[in-house]
Each structure stands twice: as C-alpha cells, then as structure tokens.
Amino acid sequence: MKRKWNKAAKATAAIAISTSMLFPLASSHQAAFSNVHNVLAAETQSVDSAYLQEAFKKAAKEFGVPENILLSVSYNMTRWEQHNGKPSTSGGYGVMHLTQMDGASADEKGLEEAHSFTPSPNLDQHMLDEAAKLINQDPEALKKDALQNIRGAAALLAKYAKESMGSVPKKEADWYGAVAKYSGSNEEAAATDFADQVYATIQKGMDRHTPEGQDVQLKPENIAGNRASAEKFHFHKSTKDPRAEVPNGVDSQFIPAFYQQLSDNPGNYTNYDVGDRPKLGGDIRYIVIHDTETEYQPTINLFSRPYGASAHYVLRSSDGQITQMIQNKDVAWHAGNWYFNMHSIGVEHEGYAAQGADWYSEQMYHASAKLVRYLAEKYDIPMDRAHIFGHNEVPGLTPSSQHGMHWDPGPFWDWDHYFELMGAPVTPAHGSKRAVTFKPHFETNKQVVDVNDGNIREHSTNFVYLYQEPSFDAPTIVDPAMSAARPDEAANWGNKAEAAQTFALADSKGDWDAIWYGGQKAWFYNPHNKNTVPGNVQTLITPKEGKDAIPVYGSAWPEASAYPSDVVPKSIFPLQYTIEAGQVYAAEEKVNGDYYNAKVFTLDPYGVHKMVYGKEEYYRIHFNHRFAFVKAEDVDVVKR
C-alpha cells in the first residue's frame, strides 16, 4: 500500500513505523513477572576451558598454518565464539565463521512488502561447503563441531596460501594474501582491511574468556603482512565516490536516499531535510547508533523510495560495507525526535535488536568503529557515551511519545568492545566518587532476557537490572512510560542501566548500590564495584534550593521570544517525570535552545529554512535509560 507522508509527521516519523518494519518498538504486554533474577536458575556445566586453544594448535599443525594466523583470523571473525552452531546474519558458522548462504526474500523478515535479496557478488558465501570437501567431512559437522570448523578453515587458508604463493608459505608475513582471501570479499578495500586487522591483532596480542567458557590466548608478536602476497587474487579496486564521507581504506558506496516533492504542495515531501550543517541546520554534536530490523539491501531499498524515515549511513553485517545515503550536512529523519535529528548523524547497522549476538558481526563492529571515529574527529564530537549513543537513549518530545520511542540497538550491542575498537575505552581518567559509570563485563554479564523466541534464558548483555529495593526478591523498578511492559522483556528499557551510562549515586547497602534514575531511587547489585567505575561526569545538578520538584523535557527549544515573526514557536512539553528536591543527576552539557525550521522541499536551504537561536539554557542529563533536558534556571550545580 502506497503511503503518503507529510511534514507534520516528520518529527516523529520513525515512531509511526510498525514493529514489522524498520525499527523495534517497545512492547505493551502486561507485566507478568515480579522477580527477573529468579525467572531462570543459572545452569552450570563442566567445561574444558582449554579445548578451543588445543583445537587451534592441532589444526594449525595438521595443515601447516601458523597458529597465530589461525587464532587471529578467528578472533577477527567471531572473537572465538561458536554461537552454539547457529549462523550469523551473513550465514557464517562456528568460531571461524565459515559461510553457507543462499538467497532469501525480505518478506520472511517481517516486511509488509517483499524486497528481493540476492547474495552479493562481491562475497564468497559458500566457504563452509568448500572447507568440508577439503577435510572430507559432512558440512553439518563443521557447523556444530568447533574442532572440525577450525580444521576446515585451516585447510581453506592453506589452499588460499598455495594459490597466492605457489606453496604453503614458511614465513608468517606471506600468509597475508590468504587471510585477505579468507575475508570472503572480492573488494580490495574490504579484503585488505581484514588482513590488516588480523596482523594488527597478532602484534597486539589477545586473551579472552568466551561466553562458552573457553580461555584462549594469542601471544603478541611483531609480524607485518606481505601485501604483495595478495596480488594474485586480483581483488576489485573500487573508486571511492567523492560524495562518500568515510575514512580511507573501507569498502563504501553512496546511494542517495529519496528526496522529492510529492505534489504541488511544497510541504509534501520526504525522506530528509536539506541543510548546510554545521553552518545551517544545527551543529553536529551526536552520533546515534541504530539497527535496521531487516537486512542490508532492503534497508537501502526502503530509504531509496518515499518512506518517511532515513539515516546517513547503513552498514552490512557480513563484511562491514558502508553505504552512505545522506550527506552529513543534511538532516536525516532517524531519531524520532527533531531536536536530536538536528544535531546528529544516524548510523544504521544490519541486524535485529533481539538477536544481536547473531547479527552484530565483528567485521561490522570494526567498520562502524572506524567510521564513527572518523566522524567524531571530523566534527569534533567527544568519543564517549554521552555523545555516541543508541537510539534507545533518545527521549520522546511528549509524554505520549516516550513509550513508543525505539529501543535499538538493544541489550546485545557490546558498547565496551565498540569503544575499545575506537581507541576510547570506557575507563575515566578522573571519575567522580559521587557518580558511577556502568561497566559490566559483556561476556560474563549474564541476565535473564525474554527475546520472544519462546525460550526465556540468560544472555550475555550490556545492562544490569534495577530494583526497587536492595534485593533480588524485590521487583524491578517501573518507568511510567513502560508500566505495561514485562520486567524481563528485551524491549523494556525502563528497568535497565546500560554500559557506559553515568548516574549519580543515591545510596549503598552491602553489595548493593543505588542511583537516582528517572525520578526514583534504583538499586543494583554491585559487589566490589564489579559493574561500575567512578563516574565519568563533569557536572552534577539538583533542583534549585527552594523547589520541591522540577520538570524534565525531551528537547531544548528556544524561548518563544527568540522566534522571528514568520516562524511558529515550538512548544516544549514536560515529560511524565519530575526530579524531586535532593535528587542528583549527571549533566553532560549546557546548551542554549535552538531550532531548525525546515518545513518545505528545497534544494537550497538558504533563504528558505531558518535557524532559531535562543537565550534559554538547558542541561542535558542522564535521566533514566534515555537522556532528558532540564532548564538551567531550575537547578543548582553540586560538587562532583
């Protein structure tokens, strides 16, 4: 069914999209549990933690592949995770991510309209079958048995090495070409970038305790790859599109998002607004991380037609390819909040919030980290969680919209790992003792989460649950906007504190600490500070002396007197919360209200669109799971 989108719906366009479309919405199911911690008893199994390390050693010796090469290839594909034999989004199996993938139709993924999906000609998507033949095993064995998976990959690497060098290389540097080929990409930028990552990991070294209980170590060695060994594969050399704002050395393309006037009415257009940021349209302060809730090509297809939503970038899970669709000077309709649209760049990642472990590939993490670091440096955006955050942290503009705000990239996006890849680990140099920054260890931070697959169980997650009292027997806190959501529901953002979010401490009892969160005291289990580090915050605020409570807002619009006569002032609505006297919150920045008035289709924003700057000052604070704003005149700054 053809949709007609008008500008009145633009600010909240993404909110209106159903759960079967691009972004996940919060559930409205009635709460069914009062005690998340005891929904599922943790099961412990006896695991030989050295099994995987020994498997790498055996396979390396059998096929003549340097063990450090084999280990590093696996780490950069899966971080040594088996994923219980389940495929990734790109059809990769096991710790070596051997691919086996056929074409599919996007209507199988819940879209209202089918979009044809054809495996990319630039990807080798049948590595598993070839590897199985090389070691005379059934392909199913390579999917489920880690040793056979590693053996198959080692045989494949040895085959590639012979093709590039004529025989199995004796020097580790000469395996560079084989590693590039193993990336699965025929694009030179993507293939050599993967090989560079593999050799960089060898130089740095790595050790990890995996979610499956395996202890794996790669000792550091000063080895550089021989790039000439990749020449025989004749990788395709793409010419960088001059419109693409991406770092050098990444596989990228530019496909323009739809932008047209749809009728004689200049206010009837879609999917974004033209600007000239940061000169006109708002300065770029934030980068918002999304997931697509469908596959890569269907996402590009959606943004390429009249749709009512868009993003600046889309990343592919299989190899991290970057498609830019809107220039950063323009304002994409991605956050469901016009204030954040004005000031941000939106980055979509192929995947599903409730299935993050399967979709958020290491290749995509690497490519996204490179892109975001490039953007942060270009636009002088601090590389921290106050400025690089998820769609799930963007507030609604009104109380009614707060409930429907999206929750991607969800509880399975590994923020710690992501920022480590950016070179900005979540470890404040001078943290405040009056605040905490959450830092649960993703792999070992097991929480019971219902992902609506019929199997309520523990998952490695990026959050900790928040309780009404310092006890697992107490109910989790309830956010007024999420009162109907079940406490263990993945989409229920109202009772979770996420990795690298910062809050002011409110209390402490034994192994439990409390924070001020969403207008209430929220308790979390924190023995020996296992889930936190000192708060990474410069300013703490509290209601001004003499005020019993103050409102919070979802935007920082200018005061009415700041608007010119031909621009209708924006109304600012208090959200369904208040901050009572004595409560303290971490403030990330103090800003003057501003607003980009962009109401009609135009190819040149100057003289058509207008930027309004006010004198009213606001603090942006970590309020609950989402940010909020308070007026500076309503608060006092307290010592940190």
Domains along the chain with CATH numbers:
7-31+241-541 (3.40.80.10), 51-233 (1.10.530)
Dihedral over Cα of 592, 406, 290, 329: its sign: negative
For residue 333, what are its two tokens? Answer: 């309709």
Distant-in-sequence, close-in-space partners of 453: CB < 8 Å, separation ≥ 6: 354
DSSP string, 560-571: GGGS-TTSPPPP
Give 320-350 pLDDT, tens digit per residue.
Answer: 999 999 999 999 999 999 999 999 999 999 9
Number of C-beta neighbours around residue 573 at 10 A:
17
For residue 396, what are its two tokens? Answer: 């609604």
- Peptide bond just before 306 cis, omega within 30 deg: no
Distant-in-sequence, close-in-space partners of 24: CB < 8 Å, separation ≥ 6: 291, 293, 352, 353, 354, 406, 407, 408, 410, 491
Average pLDDT value for the chain:
87
In angstroms, the Cα distances linking 302 to 106, 112, 281, 292, 386 are: 11, 11, 24, 11, 30
- Peptide bond just before 256 cis, omega within 30 deg: no
In angstroms, the Cα distances linking 349 to 22, 26, 36, 104, 245 are: 11, 19, 29, 19, 17
Residue 602 has pLDDT above 60, yes or no: yes
Q: What is the pLDDT of residue 100?
A: 83
Residue 277 to residue 258: CA distance in whole angstroms: 19
Residue 388 to residue 279: CA distance in whole angstroms: 21
Q: Tell me the CB-side half-sphere exposure of residue 576, using CA atoms within 13 A.
A: 13
Per the document, the length of the chain is: 640
469 burial via Cβ count (<10 Å: 0-12, 13-18, 19+)? middle
Residue 123, SS3 per DSSP: strand
Residue 168 to residue 181: CA distance in whole angstroms: 15
Residue 545 has pLDDT above 90, yes or no: yes
Residue 2 has pLDDT above 60, yes or no: no
Residue 90 has pLDDT above 80, yes or no: no
Give 443-459 pLDDT, tens digit per residue.
Answer: 889 999 998 877 888 88
Confidence of residue 392 (pLDDT cuts 50, 70, 90): very high
